[in-house]
Structure 1
Amino acid sequence: MDFTTSARKHGRIVCLIPLFLLFLVSAFPPAGAQNFEPVRASSEDQWPSDLPWWKRNNLRVMQCNLPAYEATLNVDSLLEDLVRFSVNTLIINGGGIMAFYPTDLDFQYTNPFMQKEMLDQVVQKCHALNIRVVTRFDFSRFHRSIFDEHPDWAYISPSGERIINDDMYMAAINGPYVQEKSVEIIRELITKYPVDGIFINMPGYHTSNAYEGTYHGIDQNEFDRKRFYQFSGGDNLPVEENPEDPVFQKYQEFKKFTSDDWMKKIHTAVKSINPDIAICTYQEKYVDIIRHESQTNSLPYWPYMSFDNVTNTVHSQPDHIVSNASIQQISFRSRYNAIEPEETAIRLYENLAAGSGLDMSLMGDFRQYEDERNFETWEKIYAFHRKFEPYYGKYHSLAEICVISPSYWPGGVSGQEYRGIQLMLKEAHLQYDIINYAEIYNRRQELSNYKVIIIPQIPEVSEQSAKVLADLCGSGANLIATNQSFSKNPALLSALFGVKPVKTENNADGYYLEPKDKLFFRRFGSQRLLFCKFNLGFYDMSGCDERYLPILTPGRPGPPEKIGGHEPSGFHAVGLKKNGRGMAATVPFNLGRLYYIHGYEQHKNILLDLIDHVFPGSNDLVQTNTHPRIEVVLQEFTENLASKTEIEEKDGLILHLINLTGFSGNTYFTPLPVFDTPFKIRCSVKPEVVYSLVNKQKMPFDWDDGYLTLKVPTLDQYEALVIKY
């Protein structure tokens, strides 16, 4: 197949074909032209009664965050809009900050605009249309009237400040309001109304006023003091967030324990009343649906955020359902201004490609909405998922590369390193999964399936995780650790990677890297020096079997007449050590961050050459020359049907193509159409048919010796090719 023509549209040649040839063509259709009808979604009454509804993994969520005054909404118009947008799950205000229903609890403030029948009507009328209702709770704050009675329930900073938004006070997580009253509020609502789930917004600890962007510090509430004193065996609460402080490290453990303990209380209460009520929030323990969010709260913009969020959570917590919300607003201070429709589409399609459903979060309901530009996008994509639901939500990974994530909500320098590594893989169309670093031990079996495991700037892992990585490498996995990864595990660095840190932190400005070995660095035929920036570690690599990329000293900065003087430093930027059947590679500089911030392909090419060296078949799964901004996600699927809830037999492959060519770095424009894109895909089973869900037509293909070849004539915004076994 010609891999040189995807960037242009072929001219059309029109010719006259004799009738007998037309007969032959119709009598003997090309490969892939057999009759095929997409599978229909299972109806509500077909699903097994003992299967929790959320386990279907077919969510199409709309979250209507109602301002107080919108409690007067017209329920019938809300239902009309939910049907228009093909929604099957509604998240709507319930209680906590304020009750949107008649509450009998004196410690829950009632919305002054509350309509007594509103929530009841929403639940009844949604259920009549097979739409689930999840009520939203927020226990992060309570009203001034409650604060006046119970000031000891509220957050207090080290300097004695409260966090206040208008007349709402930040709650202390270890105070009675969160620990006891929240459970009573939930119990009251789910007893009054037959809701299908509860969603808890903003759980956990807070040091800032997120709505105003102001930092206040660690909560010094007396209930927190006493509980931490007991937990730590006599320590006082830290007043500064210092990662090097042993007391703060203990406090981090305390936060995790107490947050999980609170969710356990809620889980026990809810499931004792109705085990079919789903619990949804941003934590992992004692929940049924893990919520995540795609936001625009940091620069550079990260166009792969939905894929990142879903993949990170799905593979780290495979026993949970993940729902990743596309946040409609630009920021907390710009709630009535929506993101661009092109960005919304990317987020929603990435949700589907990564194995989740659809989820949108907006302010208010849909009538008299301040920014309706996304409505058409929602209507189109939600209807598409409703129609082709069986091809989504039940995926099996084919990836041979895994990226270890530093967090479920990565940020800062480590987040940039992590995202930069992903960006390199995405643009090279290499398939990869993501697993959180804290789950290495728990996911050790899944990790054994990967040929390459990349650890981007994760300074420390547990002893259990370190042993898992060593065992995996010995069994054939190849490890790539960037920047300061394992700098707090020196024994692991020495034994597994063959390196000893001399200086893990060093300003890289002015240093050069020299890709001398052209057999290793095959992408650097015309380049002799690569600039470096941010952090560059100096490591003793005498224990390595191979060393590459010599580091040259900064030399003389100045006018052109004076520059030069770059000399070998004696250190290298890539070291590899053989361990059994695998290799462990150290790359002790900000490789990912350099690419994420500056975007020079030379830094991406370092990683790609390194992957080629340790895993020569890295690009064998999917081969294409399509544009780097075409996101390619290949999954194996089982049809997501009621009749197959206990069946793991694979029904085929699905190739997702998401067109990001309209993303400029700052702006999301309409993507450019891409024509005649060739693909060669490893496919051990000869397919019966290849079918485009977008164009609703069969596609010609060839299959030979375990590989499928095809050409996508036109890619606009999205394509999904079902490759049916």
Structure 2
Amino acid sequence: MSTTSRWWHQPFRTHQTNLREVDAGLDVEQVLDHIQDIGADTWLLNTAGIVSFYPSRLAFQHPSPWLAERPSGDLIGDAVEAAHARGVRVLSRVDFSKVHADLAEQHPDWCFVSATGERQIYNGLWSTCPSAPYYQERSEEILGEILDTYPVDGFFFNWFNFSQRDYSGRNHGPCHCAHCQRRFDERYGRPLPTRADWDDPAYVQWLEYTRETLGDLAGRVRKLITGKNPDTALILAHDPDITFYEANNAVDRPQPLWIYGTGEFLRTSRTAAPDKPVWVNSVMFIDMPYRFVPEQQGHLGLYLAQTIAHGGNPSAYLVGTPDRLPATSFDIVRDVFCFHRDNARFYTDVRSAAEVGVVSSVRSGERYGGPSGVDKVRGEIRGVYRALVESHVPFDIVLDHLLVMDALDSTLRRYKALVLPNVAVLSDDQAEVLDRYVETGGGLVATYDTGGFDAAGAPRPGIALRSLGAATVIDRREAPGAMRSAYLRVTDPGDLPGATEGDLVLLDRAYLYVEPRPDTVCSFGLVPPSRYGPPEKCYWDVETDHPGLLWHRHGSGRTAYIPWPIGGLYDDLGRPEHRDILVHALDEVGGGRQLSTDAPPHVEIVVSTQDDPHRTLVHLINYSGQRGRAFGPPLPIHDIQVELPGVATVAAANSLRRGMPLETSRTAAGAVTFTLPHLDLFDLVVLDHG
């Protein structure tokens, strides 16, 4: 069977009932009625691992005692038979992260051990280790039993990870079981780290070890499943048929909430593997300690709207059976699911049309700056992300480790410009790829420490990218408070729309003093930290020519380098001048905007394409209902004008949410324009090119 004929390559919608062992006697037909009512066509339910919901013959499985309430004694058999009779697929949820005490006592080597020799025991269950035989061997026996007994349509692995944290958030550190000690020593020739310490090279290697171990295990699981039934999908974060993401909330999550997490994951995954479906499981409750308090409809709606706009397959997740939550909790799920179902042809074989790529660097977070490196990299990319969304710039996220691969197959050529938000760690090969990209006509915007560190995280003597306007960093100020009360003086008003010469831009956190390359054009002059109290002394004596923005031409392309954390500052402070400097720089090096609109900043616009038939798809998402941690219905927005310069002739345009055709026109410059009369939570405008 060809890959394209497998069910997961068509749009689908899932409802997960994460069952408690006491739910084994549930009414299958009643649950299926609910699943179909909300527009889902796939049911995910617990099958094996911590508790099995079928009469397993394996000695190391624990069937639910409540299976005795079923005449058949077999929930999975009943569910699969009834669901398939209705055309509903069934996915099996398995969880091998924990075992009961009897198995742990018989097989202590299956279990997690802390650096101090403690076991990780939670509610009577012992955490297992992916390096140990339960994961490495027994999991395959369990999967084999299920596949040989039931024609399930897929598997989802819960908590497929090294359990450093438990459900209460306690960090137990890296596992020190005998298997981890032996395998880590064979791989790196050193003892395991005792705690999460970013300054310890062994801890960074431990993170590599966990990824390699899980990736190898996932590959073997995938081979087992495919060997028994190639039409059974594996949903996982490592080597899957369907990539998994959970959209969730938490009562202790710090403010401000990162509301764009779902879209961020989808932009990344769909760029890294455009032919691999992504499944987003949106949590319908507020947090694990409060599993029976429903999530706010406005928050859940944003999860779902981002999912479908970025080409993901939506899922909604609750604990227990659907009657555990109020009926109104499913209103937004039903709305989005049914829209996705009824318009499935517009979600099939869709790809991003973004002309900007944002490079994301996991390696920089792990290998640069110690514990603060993760925050500095995350803050920078989040600020850039927000700035682009609010400025209506369509973009993808490109993982840094794919850069060399992308260069070989010319994937980078689809982007008119790349943004490197503090991509501090770059290998020589990656730097060469990026320089060649610019040399042959690409645009590039880089911020802060980009290219200042080698592949191992060691400081470079100069900046790795020859295409940037700075050759080397001659000094840095980044200690806490070191740049407090500093400014950047506007020297060229064209580099900050709406500014006049001499205006000031807030500068804080850090600044890199750099040596410009020949022919570099410098903009914004540094005003070093000045007195800010008492008022009688609030003036400065020194202004410098140290630049806040460096323009440089390299071959046929152009770069903009911002030697300070503009993204991190925008993420924290939301100053519009930071956003405008960044986006203006991107416009300049990329040759202009892919689209223009009068939509307010809280409207996200995503542009995608289909080849057969040829269409441009424009999703709009309205975030106006968010007020910090509170989410209400979004404010309706009227008469949004959108202008698309690079779009071909349009034969028809339609708003699918409004169910109405839209008039289009062309500007004197040849851009296609349309006006959307009304936007609530989301809409999809389809431009057919005939």
Return the TM-score normalized by structure 1.
0.87
Counterparts of 1:671-690 in structure 2, within 5 Å, are: 671-682=634-645, 684-690=647-653
- Work out whether residues 336 and 371 of structure 1, in 8 Å CA contact, stay in contact via their aligned partners in 2: no
CA distance 1:526–1:79, shift in 2 (3 Å): farther
Q: Alignment partner for residue 405 of structure 2, among 442, 449, 456?
A: 442
Q: Deviations 1:44-95 (Å, cap 9, x if unpaired)?
A: xxxx886443442302011111122122211111110011011111111011
C-alpha distance in 1, partners of 2:539/2:349?
A: 58
Q: CA RMSD in A?
A: 2.2
Counterparts of 1:557-636 in structure 2, within 5 Å, are: 557-565=532-540, 567-569=542-544, 571-617=546-592, 619=593, 621-636=594-609
Counterparts of 1:18-97 in structure 2, within 5 Å, are: 51-97=4-50
C-alpha distance in 1, partners of 2:256/2:26?
A: 38
- Is residue 2:437 matched to residue 1:488? no
Q: Alignment partner for residue 326 of structure 1, among 282, 286, 294?
A: 282
- State the SS of the aligned residue for 1:219: coil
Quick check: 435-444 or 696-705, which moved more?
A: 696-705
Aligned position for 2:260: 304
- Work out whether residues 425 and 431 of structure 1, in 8 Å CA contact, stay in contact via their aligned partners in 2: yes
C-alpha distance in 1, partners of 2:477/2:269?
A: 31
Counterparts of 1:415-426 in structure 2, within 5 Å, are: 415-426=378-389
Amino acid at match of 2:340: H
Aligned position for 1:467: 432
Counterparts of 1:539-550 in structure 2, within 5 Å, are: 539-542=514-517, 545-550=520-525
- Work out whether residues 136 and 198 of structure 1, in 8 Å CA contact, stay in contact via their aligned partners in 2: yes
- Work out whether residues 642 and 674 of structure 2, in 8 Å CA contact, stay in contact via their aligned partners in 1: yes
- State the SS of the aligned residue for 1:237: coil
The percent identity for this pair of structures is: 25
Counterparts of 1:449-464 in structure 2, within 5 Å, are: 449-464=414-429
Aligned position for 1:533: 508
Aligned length: 661
Q: Alignment partner for residue 92 of structure 2, among 135, 138, 142?
A: 135
Counterparts of 1:324-473 in structure 2, within 5 Å, are: 324-367=280-323, 369-407=324-362, 412-444=375-407, 445-473=410-438
Deviation of 1:311 after TM superposition, in Å, equals: 1.2
Stretches (4+) displaced over 4 A: 407-411
Deviation of 1:719 after TM superposition, in Å, equals: 1.7
Deviation of 1:492 after TM superposition, in Å, equals: 4.8
CA distance 1:121–1:526, shift in 2 (3 Å): farther
- Work out whether residues 495 and 581 of structure 2, in 8 Å CA contact, stay in contact via their aligned partners in 1: no
Aligned position for 1:717: 681
Deviation of 1:468 after TM superposition, in Å, equals: 1.5
Aligned position for 2:57: 104
Q: Alignment partner for residue 627 of structure 2, among 664, 669, 675?
A: 664
- State the SS of the aligned residue for 1:568: coil
Aligned position for 2:529: 554
- Is residue 2:157 matched to residue 1:200? yes
- State the SS of the aligned residue for 1:292: strand
Q: Deviations 1:368-399 (Å, cap 9, x if unpaired)?
A: x2344431111111111111110113223322
- State the SS of the aligned residue for 2:404: coil
- State the SS of the aligned residue for 1:656: strand
Quick check: 165-174 or 583-592, which moved more?
A: 583-592
Amino acid at match of 1:709: T
Amino acid at match of 1:261: D
C-alpha distance in 2, partners of 1:653/1:408?
A: 35
Amino acid at match of 1:550: G
C-alpha distance in 2, partners of 1:362/1:597?
A: 33
- State the SS of the aligned residue for 2:268: helix
Deviation of 1:227 after TM superposition, in Å, equals: 0.9
Counterparts of 1:106-125 in structure 2, within 5 Å, are: 106-114=59-67, 115=70, 116-125=73-82
- Work out whether residues 636 and 653 of structure 1, in 8 Å CA contact, stay in contact via their aligned partners in 2: yes
Aligned position for 2:187: 231
Deviation of 1:721 after TM superposition, in Å, equals: 1.4
- State the SS of the aligned residue for 1:134: strand
Aligned position for 1:24: none
Q: Deviations 1:330-358 (Å, cap 9, x if unpaired)?
A: 22222222221112122212111111221
CA distance 1:125–1:461, shift in 2 (3 Å): farther
C-alpha distance in 2, partners of 1:177/1:633?
A: 44
Amino acid at match of 2:543: P
Deviation of 1:569 after TM superposition, in Å, equals: 5.0
Q: Deviations 1:244-286 (Å, cap 9, x if unpaired)?
A: 4443343333222211111122122111211111011122x2x
- Work out whether residues 97 and 138 of structure 1, in 8 Å CA contact, stay in contact via their aligned partners in 2: yes
Aligned position for 2:369: none
Aligned position for 2:471: 499
Quick check: 536-545 or 197-206, which moved more?
A: 536-545
CA distance 1:208–1:554, shift in 2 (3 Å): same
Q: Deviations 1:296-326 (Å, cap 9, x if unpaired)?
A: 2443112222221111110012231111221
C-alpha distance in 1, partners of 2:428/2:86?
A: 52
Counterparts of 1:179-190 in structure 2, within 5 Å, are: 179-190=136-147
- Work out whether residues 238 and 251 of structure 1, in 8 Å CA contact, stay in contact via their aligned partners in 2: yes
Amino acid at match of 1:215: N
- Work out whether residues 494 and 543 of structure 1, in 8 Å CA contact, stay in contact via their aligned partners in 2: no
Amino acid at match of 2:169: G
- Work out whether residues 686 and 703 of structure 1, in 8 Å CA contact, stay in contact via their aligned partners in 2: no
Return the TM-score normalized by structure 2.
0.91
Aligned position for 1:168: 125
Unaligned ranges ≥5, structure 1: 1-47, 639-648
Amino acid at match of 2:196: E
- Work out whether residues 650 and 688 of structure 2, in 8 Å CA contact, stay in contact via their aligned partners in 1: yes
- State the SS of the aligned residue for 2:264: helix
- State the SS of the aligned residue for 1:499: strand
Q: Deviations 1:497-528 (Å, cap 9, x if unpaired)?
A: 23312345514322212222113223323871
C-alpha distance in 2, partners of 1:62/1:543?
A: 59
- Work out whether residues 7 and 231 of structure 2, in 8 Å CA contact, stay in contact via their aligned partners in 1: no
- Work out whether residues 442 and 590 of structure 2, in 8 Å CA contact, stay in contact via their aligned partners in 1: no
- State the SS of the aligned residue for 2:493: coil
- State the SS of the aligned residue for 2:663: coil
Aligned position for 2:368: none
CA distance 1:570–1:701, shift in 2 (3 Å): closer
Aligned position for 1:476: 441
Deviation of 1:651 after TM superposition, in Å, equals: 1.9
Of structures 1 and 2, the one scoring higher in RCO (CA 8 A, sep 6+) is 1
Deviation of 1:684 after TM superposition, in Å, equals: 4.1
Unaligned ranges ≥5, structure 2: 366-373, 455-459
C-alpha distance in 2, partners of 1:392/1:608?
A: 30
C-alpha distance in 2, partners of 1:222/1:125?
A: 45
Amino acid at match of 1:448: R
- State the SS of the aligned residue for 2:45: strand
- Work out whether residues 434 and 465 of structure 2, in 8 Å CA contact, stay in contact via their aligned partners in 1: no
Amino acid at match of 2:10: N
C-alpha distance in 2, partners of 1:183/1:509?
A: 57
CA distance 1:409–1:348, shift in 2 (3 Å): farther
CA distance 1:249–1:110, shift in 2 (3 Å): same
- Work out whether residues 491 and 501 of structure 2, in 8 Å CA contact, stay in contact via their aligned partners in 1: no
Amino acid at match of 1:496: S
